[in-house]
Structure 1
Amino acid sequence: MTFSIITDPYFRRAEADTLGDTVPVLAAGDIDAKSVTRLRAFVAREKLKSATIYFDSPGGLLTEGMELGRAIRELGFNTNVGRPGGEAICASACTDAYAGGVARFLNDRSGRLGIHQFHSGVRPTRDTEAAVQMISAVNIDYLAEMGVDPQLFSLASAIDAEDIGWLQPEIALQLGLANNGARPAIAEIHTSKMRPYLLLQQEHHDMIGRAIFFCLGGKLSIGLSLITTPETARAWTAGTTLSYVELDGKLALPGADAEASSDLVSFSRALTPDMANQLLTTETLAIRVQDRASSPHGQTIDLRSGHETMRDFFGQCLPGGLPASSVRTRDLVIASLSNQDGRRSATIIDRASLKKVDGRLVRGTAYLVTTEGKETVIFMSHMEFDCNAHRSRNLFMMFYDKTGKATDTSTTDWASVPPKSNAEALLLTACGKTRPADKHVFGNMKPFDLIQLIIGASNADAH
């Protein structure tokens, strides 16, 4: 892999919003044993203090890819996928190097990120299989170290070593592989004048989103702030300004009271117990201000890592505690994955939904997704499994399109389950006769989030 400063003025102008004051650097070619040495020598020669590394690489050596990522993190550099005048890719070991970026951009201007399972390239033996398992564990630890959901490894393991699964940007964001300049959110309880408050904050490359929850007399309130520049803060509040939040994209707590103070734009709201409870199931809180004649401004806070801290703070503040939560715990596992002649399919079962009926029957909820070319079939089924007679039936089936919109319904009668089929994998899992590998356990993930991950990894042949 070679490194060079990107001087193309058109490229630098187009990337200005993500570059900021960093220097764009092109990292091109295979990752080999000397890539880290070349990068450090290049940084010293060019006296770089801050940079965004733009990758264009098909991959290379896995261990060296991780070491390159660690070097990039140590230097405090950002990463992206792209090159002047052409389409770029970052696949295989390059994805591990990309994960080292402090800010990891993947937007509509970026190239593609690709993943697949690791392979040693030698004939399998007991020794080589042990080595592969050890390297797999090292890779999982590395992803966690970089702040990436280790489920990325599970997803990559489902893709043949000779194939590539191209990740959609939204999937890379869900897994934390890309963050588009957002640092991990923090959730901390502090005290001021002997009164506790809960701070939720997320730093982005262009501003900071902050939410502070207060408890006074058994009532909750929230102060919301955008930390930007003094010039921007004054510009955003110069006219009559609407102020509100979006909870997973849905408008809430509207008002017209945003104020600017130095580099802050802020407003506050009272919170009802029901609204507090809703926040515990909200993944993304967006803070918005908007002049009536312009588009909204603002930034987001990822609430997922703060839910337990929020639950404790809210529950201790409210005299009657929180309203009963409607959140249902899931235990999603991938029962089977297959790829035959370009037709990929996966079956998922929610083990938390399984219930025994009449001793020999088990009922539960399952999902199936099949992709072939540009065609995708998704359905959810409330199934009944006869563990003794090795048969199953669909009590109720709902078909969906790729967006999660229901399109049709159906049922099926009892039918024998063919051996070594997706249906048998479901039956054996439901009846407790087989246990999926740990890498195929996805717990309380939303079913359609997992389905979108599978679809995103199955799009290799669609490009």
Structure 2
Amino acid sequence: MATGKRDRSRHARWIAWLALGLGGLGSTCAQARAERLNIHVLSDRLTLAVARHPQVYLYGRIDAQAPQRFETLVRSGRIAAGSDVYLSAAHGDLAAGMALGRLIRAGGMATHLGAPRRNFPGASGSRTAVCVDACALAFFGGLYRWAPSGSDRLGLSVTPAAAGHAASLPPGVDDYLKEMKVDPGPLTVTSPKGAASVVWLAAEALRRSGAVNNGRLPARASYDVASPTPTLDLRQSDRTGEHRLVITCRPGQTLVEASERVGARRAREIVARGGRSYLALNGGPPMLAATDGVSAEGEMLVIRRSFPPERLVDLLFAGSIGAWVDGRSAAFRDGFALNPWGAHAQLRVFYHACWRAAPWPMPPA
């Protein structure tokens, strides 16, 4: 009996030591996870059906080896080009953040702020994403970048300067931002506080700096103004593809051709539906609505209209130019809205060339 008690006692002590060891190992693993960037990829069928792109969550701390792990997943195909990348990291290595940003840009990926789901390994459980310094630099690498929403916050640590002047960023960050086509100026205007501090970036500063584009790249314009019939080719890319508007000026007539690649089958289906097609400026009511003037040309859906020359200024300098084909009800339609911001200099040149080549009657005083 005494021997049995001693055996049970030794067994109990062994179990306790084992539990203590495993507990310490678990604590060490948790600490290790907290000190490095977690990378979690969702590319299942449901995610692709709903979001249309794989989702990659980067959260924790951006450690020096994070870019290497990210690149390995890219090379293996685990992280696909064009993925949506969600970031939440309050600390990290600045050089690693810039390296991640370059990898994200090279892959044509989109960036958002987004906290990991509670069931992800190493997730804190908070639903608020906080993205500071190295994380913000990685965020700026997105080809498409969405402004923070809700309680999510994006920030940079800067050394304040005189009131209303640009503060200083760490070495190399200025050049990186310019490489990413982001103007550092609007991001670093602070009030003096006497020490380095985090500047939480407001939506207006992000917009003015080009740090966010909310899924749409600036419009690109080219033109032929030497021809007797000047032509403008205006294009803009967003997450759904490239949209194109070609405008040709002729005496008494301005021709507008709007097109986008939707696939041959989809283009034929839209045309066969027989809905009305139209233009819309600044999200306003339909203009030049008709059931004809839309065609399927290969993989392209094309809408053509003769536009009133005297309203060319309204067309060229609208905040948005929409080209739409109605669905079976007003709630559904196909087409796109193009924002010509960023191409105004070329649009002015084209407008004056049209006036010289084919002047239109001036409206009565």
Q: TM-score, normalised by structure 2?
A: 0.69
Do 2:63 and 2:96's aligned partners in 1 also have CA atoms closer than 8 Å?
yes
Q: Distance in 2 between matches of 1:322 and 1:172?
A: 41
Residue number among 221, 237, 248 corresponding to 2:271 in the alignment: 237
Partner of residue 153 from structure 1, selected from 171, 174, 187: 187
Structure 2 contact 38–60 (Cα < 8 Å) conserved: no
Q: CA deviation at 1:267?
A: 1.7
Equivalent residue, structure 1, for 2:6:
none
Task: Please give the alpha-carbon distance, in whole angstroms, between the structure 1 residues aligned to 2:170 and 2:255.
Answer: 49
> Does 2:212 match 1:178?
yes
Supply the AA of the counterpart residue of 1:308.
A
Equivalent of 2:283 in 224, 231, 249: 249
Count of aligned pairs: 306
| Identity value in percent | 25
The equivalent position to 2:138 in structure 1, one of 97, 116, 124, is: 97
Where in structure 2 are the equivalents of 1:2-21 lying within 5 Å? 2-7=37-42, 13=46, 16=49, 18-20=51-53
5 Å-filtered alignment, 1:310-389, equals 310-319=347-356
Q: What do residues 349-401 of structure 1 show as CA deviations (whole Å, max 9, x unaligned)?
A: xxxxxxxxxxxxxxxxxxxxxxxxxxxxxxxxxxxxxxxxxxxxxxxxxxxxx
Candidates 65, 72, 75, aligned match of 2:97: 65
1:226 has 2:268 as partner: no
Structure-1 separation of matches of 2:333 and 2:226: 32
Letter in 2 for 1:311: R
TM-aligned CA deviation for residue 188 of structure 1:
0.8
Pick from 272, 277, 281: which aligns with 2:317?
A: 281
- Note closer, same or farther for the CA distance 1:173–1:266 as it changes in structure 2 (3 Å cut): farther
| 1:78 partner amino acid | A
> Per the alignment, do residues 212 and 182 of structure 1 end up closer, same or farther by CA in structure 2, a change over 3 Å counting?
same
1:208 alignment partner, SS class: strand
Shift of the 117–207 alpha-carbon distance from structure 1 to 2, 3 Å rule, reads same
Aligned match of 2:332 in 279, 284, 295?
295
User: What are the ranges of 5 or more consecutive residues in structure 1 without an aligned counterpart?
Assistant: 125-131, 325-463
Contact 1:3 / 1:39 at 8 angstroms: preserved in 2? no
Residue ranges of structure 2 left out of the alignment (5+ in a row):
1-35, 119-124, 162-166
Q: Distance in 1 between matches of 2:191 and 2:276?
A: 47
Equivalent of 1:209 in 226, 237, 243 = 243
Deviation at 1:189, TM superposition (A): 1.5
In the other structure, the counterpart of 1:415 is: none
CA-atom RMSD in angstroms: 3.8
After superposition, the C-alpha distances for 1:71-104 in whole angstroms (9 at most, x for unaligned) are 2212433323333346251422222211112233
Any idea what SS the aligned residue of 1:187 has? strand
Q: Whole-Å Cα distance in 1 between the matches of residues 192 and 73 of structure 2?
A: 35
More helix by share: 2
Tell me which structure has the larger Cα radius of gyration. Answer: 2
Distance in structure 2 (CA, Å) of the matches to 1:149 and 1:222: 34
Instruction: Compute the TM-score of the two structures, normalised by the length of structure 1.
Output: 0.56
Asked if the contact 2:56/2:79 (under 8 Å) is kept, the reply is: no
Question: C-alpha distance in 1, partners of 2:95/2:191?
Answer: 20
Q: Is the 8 A contact 1:80 1:106 kept in 2?
A: yes
Deviation at 1:152, TM superposition (A): 4.3
Q: CA deviation at 1:14?
A: 5.3
Separation in 1 of the partners of 2:247 and 2:213? Answer: 25
Q: Distance in 1 between matches of 2:176 and 2:361?
A: 40
Considering fraction of residues, name the structure with more strand. Answer: 1
- In structure 2, relative to structure 1, the CA distance for the partners of 1:173 and 1:289 (3 Å cut) is farther
Structure 1 residue 185: deviation in Å? 2.0
Q: Is the 8 A contact 2:279 2:289 kept in 1?
A: no
Q: Distance in 1 between matches of 2:263 and 2:202?
A: 34
